[in-house]
Amino acid sequence: MPVMAARPLARRLPRQRWLLPVLLALVLLVALGYIVAGFVGVPVPGFPSHAQGPVTTLTLNATVTYASARLTIQRVQQAQTFADDPQATADGMLRIFLHEENPTASPIMYNLYQCVHLLVPGKGAEAPLLVTANGPLVPQASRNNLLDFAVPLNLPLSKLTLRLGTANEAQMDIPLTSKPDLSRYAPRSVTLNTQLQYFGLNWTVTRAVLAWSTAGQQAPRGKVFLTLTLTVENTLAQTAIPGSPYDYIRLQTANGDRIAPSYSTLPVAFVQGANGQGGTVTFSVPQQDQQFTLIMGQSGSGMQSASTTIRLAS
């Protein structure tokens, strides 16, 4: 009887060679998928959940001018946390949707981490944890921004106030309520017809504007900017050169302080026959003052000084 030869085992070896690497690859793929799912926010054991919880939204659409930029607080949101904010805490967050516009012809420079704070009861003034767009605003530009603050979730929005302005600036407080009254921060214009004579010229103060900012700058702490518009009539037979308004114009406040101009567009000279030529002169004045004395005169010029009262109460 013929002897049966044993079937060689060599043919089974290739299957054993690729089976183990395939199993290892599958295990690695499952582990990698688990890790990726955890990091992207899928609720899996061993990873914190980043799913966005309930969000409360309040629409404000409140606009105010800060440092000559037009800022609109469009709406605010309150939640336990914000899943898209890497700086968010888990104890409560507040998000402000801010629209910024630069209506001027010059860049406006401010740092939102320094000039925007949230007044939180029991915690004081809180700086934002996250600002999505910061830096200068170029002329005629606008941008949308998100500002996130750490705020306990149990605090109602009506207890919170947004403050614009650094510690050295005139600060503006905006309550986070529907349709907040911001009228006190709006520029106020007063029509005048105040006249005086200086340097042989007939001067008329035609208008006064009180504003919390001008020329890309916020007023100093406790102050506002007062801008006077002046026109000049030159009846002399020659050009009159009173010089720089920074040298001969002063504004006296109620407590007797004399203030030099912060800005001016008045020319240094007025040609013969000029009528209606002029410009503006801006002063930083106490917020509470409503009456000032405009003084024109420069020691050593040989010209008699002149003054007039500027009343702003309406």
DSSP labels for 181-226?
A: --GGGS-EEEEEEEEEEETTEEEEEEEEEEESEETTEEPBTTEEEE
Does residue 165 sit in the same domain as residue 199?
A: no
**Cβ-based neighbours of 203, under 8 Å, separated by 6 or more:** 195, 196, 197, 230, 231, 232, 296, 306
Domain boundary among 167, 184, 201: 184
Amino acid at 45: P
Does residue 96 sit in the same domain as residue 212?
A: no
Tell the residue number behind the tokens 């010029």, with chain if given: 301
Q: Are 28 and 22 in contact (CB under 8 A)?
A: no
> Tens place of pLDDT for every residue, the chain, 314 residues?
455 554 554 455 455 565 666 666 676 776 666 555 555 444 444 445 557 789 999 999 999 999 999 999 999 999 999 999 999 999 999 999 999 999 999 999 999 999 999 999 989 999 999 999 998 999 999 999 999 999 999 999 999 999 999 999 999 999 999 989 999 999 999 999 999 999 999 999 999 999 999 999 999 999 999 999 999 999 999 999 999 999 999 999 999 999 999 999 999 999 999 999 999 999 999 999 999 999 999 877 678 999 999 999 76
Q: Is the pTM of this model over 0.85?
A: no
> In this predicted structure, what is the pLDDT of residue 300?
72
Q: Are 211 and 187 in contact (CB under 8 A)?
A: yes
Does residue 193 sit in the same domain as residue 180?
A: no
Does residue 255 sit in the same domain as residue 216?
A: yes
Domain boundary among 184, 212, 227: 184
Q: Could you tell me if residue 119 is inside a domain? A: yes
Does residue 108 sit in the same domain as residue 142?
A: yes
For residue 197, the tally of other CB atoms under 10 A from its CB is 13
Q: Could you tell me if residue 296 is inside a domain? A: yes
> In this predicted structure, what is the pLDDT of residue 124?
93
Does residue 226 sit in the same domain as residue 171?
A: no
Could you tell me the CATH number of the domain that includes residue 246?
A: 2.60.40.1240
Distance CA 133, CA 139 (A): 16
Q: Could you tell me if residue 241 is inside a domain? A: yes
Q: Where do runs of H (alpha helix) occur along 54-152? A: 112-115
Does residue 166 sit in the same domain as residue 76?
A: yes
Does residue 174 sit in the same domain as residue 290?
A: no
Domain boundary among 184, 210, 243: 184
Q: Could you tell me if residue 8 is inside a domain? A: no
> In this predicted structure, what is the pLDDT of residue 298?
87
Give, in order, the Cα–Cα distances in Å from 299 to each of 28, 171, 201, 258, 302: 88, 37, 18, 15, 7
Does residue 147 sit in the same domain as residue 202?
A: no
Does residue 195 sit in the same domain as residue 177?
A: no
**Of residues 196, 203, 251, the one with CA closest to residue 225:** 251
Distance CA 174, CA 116 (A): 11
Q: Could you tell me if residue 261 is inside a domain? A: yes
> In this predicted structure, what is the pLDDT of residue 9?
46
Does residue 283 sit in the same domain as residue 257?
A: yes
SS3 content of the chain, % helix, strand, coil (to 5): 15, 45, 45
Tell the residue number behind the tokens 């469009």, with chain if given: 74
- Cα pseudo-dihedral 156, 113, 218, 109, rounded to 10: -140
Give, in order, the Cα–Cα distances in Å from 309 to each of 193, 195, 196, 295: 11, 9, 10, 9
Does residue 165 sit in the same domain as residue 230?
A: no
Q: Could you tell me if residue 24 is inside a domain? A: no
Range of the domain at 243: 188-311
Give, in order, the Cα–Cα distances in Å from 164 to each of 2, 64, 113, 285: 104, 10, 11, 19
For residue 100, the tally of other CB atoms under 10 A from its CB is 19
Q: Could you tell me if residue 36 is inside a domain? A: no
> In this predicted structure, what is the pLDDT of residue 43?
46
Distance CA 261, CA 250 (A): 7
Q: Could you tell me if residue 46 is inside a domain? A: no
230 Cα distance to chain centroid: 31
Q: Domain total for the chain? A: 2
Q: Are 231 and 204 in contact (CB under 8 A)?
A: yes
